Amino acid sequence: MADHIVIVEALTSGTGLRVVEAATRKAARVTFVTRDKARYINDPLRDLLESGRVETYISETRSVEELTVLFEALGTDGAFTLIAPNEQYLLPAATAAEKLGIPFLPTASVRLTQDKHAFRRACEAEDIPAPRSTAAADVEAAVAAAEATGYPVVLKPSIGTGSYGVVSAADEEEVRWHFTEVLAESDGQGGVPLVEEFLIGPVVSAEVLYTGGVPHVLGISDRIMSELPYFMELAIRFPVDLSADAHERIERICADLARLMAYENGPAHIEFALTADGPKVVEFNPRFAGRNVSTMVSAALDWNVFDGVIASYLGEPVDAPEPVGAAAEQALYAKRGGRFEGVAGRELAQRVPGLRDIHITARAGDELPDAKDQRSEYGTLWCTGATADEAGIRAASAAGYLRPVFDER
């Protein structure tokens, strides 16, 4: 058992405080650091922070200075394992750890996970298959980059999540049409617009636990994407069957990424496009997947994946079982925007076999935009089944009974 685990924030969706709960089973002492406990007011395990099983500190987790002071104080009682499962707080935690010589992901590696352009260049230098990418400061540079890359292309901010500002362009006119919104998203996140090679093929993700830089791939989840020009994730299934060759290539790339990122221990959610030339890496996220994927993996493996996540952070061997079933998630999007009032059709959706949960995230009065990224999502649901196909059609069926109700006044 570990002596002390310090966790800086958690995801406010998906894994949430379950990673903290798992830490209490693996360590004699668990410290949780947050800037505001109210961030977890909707987490089913929110009482854990008041239970006495976890030491909770309130600190500005976006401040390197405050984290440095806190880590130094906590270190007077001995060494601890540091975990930061939310990317928003990863760089401050890494910077503070680096100042104090605490073992953690290097800040240079964190920057690679957060800057898509730097990540693309690093992959290119190490011959890791990834899309070609060019930074474009203005629309003329974007047009020139698109012409050099070849249409269609993808425009995206170099920094950001949730497919915000990510759009395809089939020709020069579309590059010029979409560039303004991509530039606005880039400016808002402190990044730059990118023009990237359009990867043609299915999108999948490897759900990975690393120990000593060695990847243990728990399975592959697929992504059902929206119609172009946007890239909304509509549905996810786990695990999906790929060819032995595809699995082998993905595992090899996962190992190469560990060396590139100096990523020794911990979970990763790594997105790939399965092109005619083989898998190409789109994103490396040094955390477990968000939304319902973590609970879906647990259900499919009949195993508490959070225990495995903590073991991975501690550098312990991962002993995950083979899948005994499958699960699928369906995102709930409002096709057109409006003032959200509620959801109709729950009573029918809840009768679909295998339905495990309907989670409505939008609140009455929220203004939902037209569907083009995750900001138009009003909830999710997920189902289990004997196979990924069965779970997937169950989830799609349940989602078909639901519709958002808008205030038309």
Residue 376: its pLDDT value, please? Answer: 80
In terms of DSSP bridges, do strands 133-135 and 193-197 run parallel, antiparallel, or are they unpaired? antiparallel
Residue 268: its pLDDT value, please? Answer: 95
Segment 304-308 shows an average pLDDT of 94
**pLDDT tens track for 40-76:** 988 889 999 988 899 999 999 999 999 999 999 999 9
Across 100-134, b (16+ Cβ under 10 Å) vs e yields: eebebbebebbebbbbbbbbbebbeeeebbbbbbb
**What are φ and ψ of residue 158, in 5° steps?**
-70, -20
Residue 273 predicted with pLDDT over 90: yes
Mean pLDDT for all residues in the chain: 92
Residue 370 predicted with pLDDT over 90: no
- Dihedral in degrees, nearest 10, Cα atoms 46, 332, 295, 83: -60
What are the structure tokens assigned to 345, written together?
């059709």
Residue 142: its pLDDT value, please? Answer: 95
What are the structure tokens assigned to 374, written together?
């995750």
Segment 89-95 shows an average pLDDT of 95
- Count of alpha carbons within 13 Å of 295, Cβ hemisphere only? 17
- Confidence bin at 209 (pLDDT 50/70/90): very high
- Confidence bin at 335 (pLDDT 50/70/90): confident
Whether the CB-CB separation of 296 and 239 falls below 8 Å is answered with no
Our separate counts of H helices and E strands in the chain read 12, 19
Residue 162: its pLDDT value, please? Answer: 64
Query: Does the reported pTM lie above 0.85?
Result: yes
Residue 409: its pLDDT value, please? Answer: 61
Which residues have C-beta within 8 Å of that of residue 102, sequence separation ≥ 6? 71, 75, 79, 80, 82, 96
Task: Of 276, 216, 267, give the one whose Cα is nearest residue 246.
Answer: 276
- Confidence bin at 338 (pLDDT 50/70/90): confident
**What are φ and ψ of residue 299, in 5° steps?**
-65, -45
Higher per-residue confidence, 185 vs 175: 175
**pLDDT tens track for 95-145:** 999 999 999 999 999 999 999 999 999 999 999 999 999 999 999 999 999
**pLDDT tens track for 379-399:** 999 999 999 999 999 999 999
Residue 9 predicted with pLDDT over 70: yes
